[in-house]
């Protein structure tokens, strides 16, 4: 009972204080309102030209355009690249790289373990830039080049004996590119 009385008294004091602040504000601002025509601004007139159904249809079309297969394939390429880079050498041989663009696929297959480790540790935005061939900022990982800057060398038909499946795949790509030491200059210590 006593608590209610105290709370009611505090509430009355607050209401009186707020009313006093409003009165002081009106006293100070009333000359300016009289001079400059103060008062509430009129609401602008707005007559929509689209119905709510048309707006919802346009929203749905935009949403579906954003969720198109291009963006999904971009995400798939990033996920596949990171999965390949983080995998063991034996698991890399069986990783499906079809979601990765051809130039990036060639670069992935010719990278050494240090470069793949750096690529696996990079964030999705940096991996996306790497896949697009832009400056990515991943230390120790070479840029993807879309144009071949080296002469293609005809590869022998059979790889040397005694190689694992993964080594054979890398050997074929390197032999085809004519760049067996493609990424030796980009090692992470």
Task: Give the model confidence (pLDDT) of 63-105 as tens digits.
Answer: 887 766 455 667 888 999 999 999 998 888 888 888 888 888 8
Whether this model's pTM surpasses 0.75: no
User: DSSP letters along the chain, please?
Assistant: -HHHHHHHHHHHHHHHHHHHHHHHHHHHHHHHHHHHT-SPPPPPP---SS-HHHHHHHHHHHHHHHTSHHHHHHHHHHHHHHHHHHS-HHHHTT---TTS-HHHHHHHHH--HHHHHHHHHS-HHHHHHHHHTS----TT-PPP-SS--S---PPPSSPPTT--HHHHHHHHHHHHHT-TTTTTT----
């Amino acid at each position: 009972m006593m608590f209610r009385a105290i709370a009611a008294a505090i509430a009355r004091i607050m209401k009186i204080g707020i009313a006093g602040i409003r009165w002081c504000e009106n006293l100070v601002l009333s000359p300016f309102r009289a001079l400059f025509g103060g008062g509430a601004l009129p609401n602008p007139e707005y007559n929509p030209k689209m119905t709510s159904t048309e707006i919802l249809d346009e929203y749905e079309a935009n949403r579906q355009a954003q969720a198109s297969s291009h963006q999904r394939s971009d995400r798939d390429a990033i996920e596949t690249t990171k999965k390949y880079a983080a995998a063991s050498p034996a698991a890399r041989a069986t990783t499906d790289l079809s979601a990765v663009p051809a130039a990036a696929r060639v670069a992935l297959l010719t990278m050494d373990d240090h470069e793949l480790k750096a690529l696996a540790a990079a964030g999705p935005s940096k991996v996306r830039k790497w896949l697009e061939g832009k400056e990515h900022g991943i230390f120790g990982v070479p840029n993807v080049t879309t144009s071949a800057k080296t002469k293609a060398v005809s590869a022998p038909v059979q790889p040397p004996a005694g190689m694992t499946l993964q080594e054979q795949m890398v050997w074929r790509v390197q032999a085809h590119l004519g760049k067996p030491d493609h990424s030796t200059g980009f090692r992470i210590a």
